[in-house]
Amino acid sequence: MDMRTPLKKVRGLGSSKEGTHHFWMQRMTAVALVPLFIVFILFVIAHLGASYETVVGSLANPFIAVLMGMMVIAGLIHMRIGMQEVIDDYVHNELLKLSALMANNFFTVLVGGFCLFALLKIAFVG
């Protein structure tokens, strides 16, 4: 016999207790990526055939560098959450699931570190 009230049963966030947070983070990063990706595509189109120095000079602009950094961060968060959902749904062996989730997080941090380092180096050193 369950002694909880009906309201108490519905207030939970699911078995993992963070499902709503992942849902909203996935949606928010998707919404943020739309204008950021449009800016990125416009940047690439504007610099087609441009010299290396021209592209580096454009990326050294603080406004462009910040937009590119925001795209990298939002894209990596979106990717990490999406892969985590796939791993949670389709990997059933607990040891393999834990290993895959750890690899997903480490990969995201590693790629993010390299991307942001490259952007900062271009922005400050030129």
Residue 14 belongs to some domain of the structure: no
Q: What's the number of domains the chain is made of?
A: 1
- Which band of pLDDT confidence, cut at 50, 70 and 90, is reported for residue 78? very high
108 vs 13: which has the higher pLDDT: 108
Confidence of residue 105 (pLDDT cuts 50, 70, 90): very high
- With a pLDDT cut of 70, the percent of the chain lying above it is 84
Q: How confident is the model at residue 23 (pLDDT cuts 50, 70, 90)?
A: confident
Structural domain contains residue 86: yes
Is 13 contained in some domain? no
| Average pLDDT rounded to a whole number, residues 65-92 | 96
Q: What residue numbers bound the domain in which 39 lies? A: 21-125
- Per the CB < 8 A criterion, the answer to whether 89 and 124 are in contact is no
Residue 9 forms part of a structural domain: no
Mean pLDDT of 64-91: 96
Inside any domain, residue 3: no
Is residue 12 domain-resident?
no
25 domain residue, yes or no: yes
> In terms of DSSP H, where are the helices of the chain?
6-11, 19-46, 52-59, 62-90, 94-125
CATH code for the domain of 85? 1.20.1300.10
Q: Compute the mean pLDDT over every residue in the chain, rounded to the nearest whole number.
A: 90
Query: The whole model's pTM is what?
Result: 0.81
How far is CA 120 from its chain centroid? Answer: 18
The predicted model gives 28-55 an average pLDDT of: 96
Provide the pLDDT for residue 20: 83
